[in-house]
Amino acid sequence: MDFPYFFTWTKQKDITHFDLLSVDETSFETKEYGRVYDLSSISYQASFGLKNKFIQNAIINQLNQFAIASPKATFDLKNRVTHEFLNFLNKKNGKIFYTTGGAESNENALKMARRITNKKVILSRKLSYHGATLGALSISGDWRRDHNITLDEWTAWIPEANKDPDLIETEKVIKNIGPENIAGFFLETIIGGNGVYPAPQKWWNGIKRLCKKYDLLLILDEVLCGFYRTGEPFGYFHYQLEPDIVTFSKGITGGMIPFGAVYASERISTFFEENILSCGLTNYAHPLGLAAMEAVIKLCKDDEFIRHYKNLEKVFNRRVFSFAKKPRVEEVRCVGMLAAIEIEGLPSLKHFLEKGLYLVIHDKRIILAPNFCYLPKQLESQLDILEEIMDKKNDEG
Ligand SMILES: Cc1ncc(COP(=O)(O)O)c(C=O)c1O
């Protein structure tokens, strides 16, 4: 069947699609495959379920009050939730810039970083993904940059943490380019979609040391790992880090409204008191996004949610690490509610759908990021199905 719209990241003739009939918290009903359980929070954004009444009601309430506000408008929700967010980030100072998605957050972070330093080069890692727009894609190292123009002159690649634990090569990169040309490091706090690679504190200490020595900014991309995806409210809570800029999206509204944010530290926000902040968007600080984000922050701070989350995380970690013993599984990495499984002979997405599972797969890797609404038993049942698929030498596997 021909569709009058595009599908993402694929030859249009090759798409695996399904007819979506209805959605509940952890699964959706399809015409072709019946009920399908989501083990990746779709694209890692639906952390609080595919249908979360609490977030939905917050959006509906706001919709009934007002759903459009000028970027120049100040209003109670905007003031209140921004304080709540800064609080949640453990930040007393600094400011938030609002966006409508992950790439857009990163674009604005790049603009701020280059403007304040008056330097252009960004240090990034090949395993990172920061979004599909020109600036964000230029500092993304994965296959998604193929077939696109990128600003390669202003991106410099540093080695992955395990290849350069003492940052000796990284420092060489800085010296080669000249620190006077470099704005800073732009790093996913925990590399997510490209394989779930948390770096050790020692590596981060090295990054901090280089930032100080060469006066470089530390910009963290928390688009995927923020809002409890990795066992802490934010990825950088795992480490002792004082980032200059942090970017957010996905879990910020549980995917219920396209939304995002950029945290800028006091140093950056003060600079823009006297200098034009040349950043903006029509739907800046969209009231529906703010309302959804406030609901998410409330959920994340709820004792019962945290108890449930910790329980679920324990079950998830135990089960996922047990997969490492399977003959076809080459490696398992897991942080909080985010896991990568490297598996030989990975079946196609169609095969998983036929078994009633939806998850992110690429090459020989599965990325699991179940939403936090699963009951532990329910999640175990879906992981049982995944285990059966991994065990079976089926036609595809
Ligand atoms: C770490 C990271 N940053 C940025 C993005 C881009 O977000 P968006 O697709 O909302 O533009 C993604 C998307 O997967 C991501 O994983």
* Residue 223 Cβ contacting ligand 1 at under 6 Å: yes
CA 109 to chain centre: 15
What's the pLDDT score for residue 140? 98
**Ligand 1 centroid, distance to 252 Cα (angstroms):** 12
- The pLDDT tens digits of the residues spanning 234-267 come to 999 999 999 999 999 999 999 999 999 999 999 9
- The pLDDT tens digits of the residues spanning 298-340 come to 999 999 999 999 999 999 999 999 999 999 999 999 999 999 9
What's the pLDDT score for residue 397? 46
Asked whether the CA dihedral 311, 313, 317, 323 is positive or negative, the reply is: positive
| Rounded average pLDDT per 10-residue block, the chain, 397 residues | 92 95 98 98 98 98 98 98 98 97 98 98 98 98 96 98 98 98 98 98 98 98 98 97 98 98 98 98 98 98 98 98 96 98 96 98 96 98 97 64
Ligand 1 binding pocket mutation candidate from 129, 143, 186 (most atoms within 8 A of CB): 129
How is the chain split into domains, by residue range?
Answer: 12-51+304-391, 53-301
Contact by Cβ (8 Å): 391, 326: yes
**Atom of ligand 1 minimally distant from the CA of 133:** 11
Identify the CATH number of the domain defined by range 12-51+304-391.
3.90.1150.10
d(CA 130, CA 228): 19
d(CA 107, CA 249): 13
Nearest residue to 273 via CA among 120, 93, 99: 93
**Atom of ligand 1 minimally distant from the CA of 191:** 1
**Ligand 1 centroid, distance to 47 Cα (angstroms):** 14
Structure tokens at 96: 């938030």
* Closest residue by CA, ligand 1 atom 8: 102
**Ligand 1 centroid, distance to 223 Cα (angstroms):** 6
* Residue 251 Cβ contacting ligand 1 at under 6 Å: no
What's the pLDDT score for residue 392? 83
- What is the CATH T-level fold of the domain 53-301, as seen in this structure? Aspartate Aminotransferase; domain 2 (3.40.640)
* Residue 107 Cβ contacting ligand 1 at under 6 Å: no
Per the listing, tokens 């990975």 go with 346
Asked whether the CA dihedral 199, 202, 205, 209 is positive or negative, the reply is: negative
**Pairing state of beta strands 182-188 and 121-125?**
parallel
Distances in Å between the Cα of 46 and the Cα atoms of 39, 273, 327 are: 10, 36, 31
Q: Is 277 buried (19+), middle (13-18) or exposed (0-12) by CB count in 10 A? A: middle
Contact by Cβ (8 Å): 263, 113: no
The verdict on pTM exceeding 0.95 is yes
* Residue 102 Cβ contacting ligand 1 at under 6 Å: yes
* Closest residue by CA, ligand 1 atom 10: 102
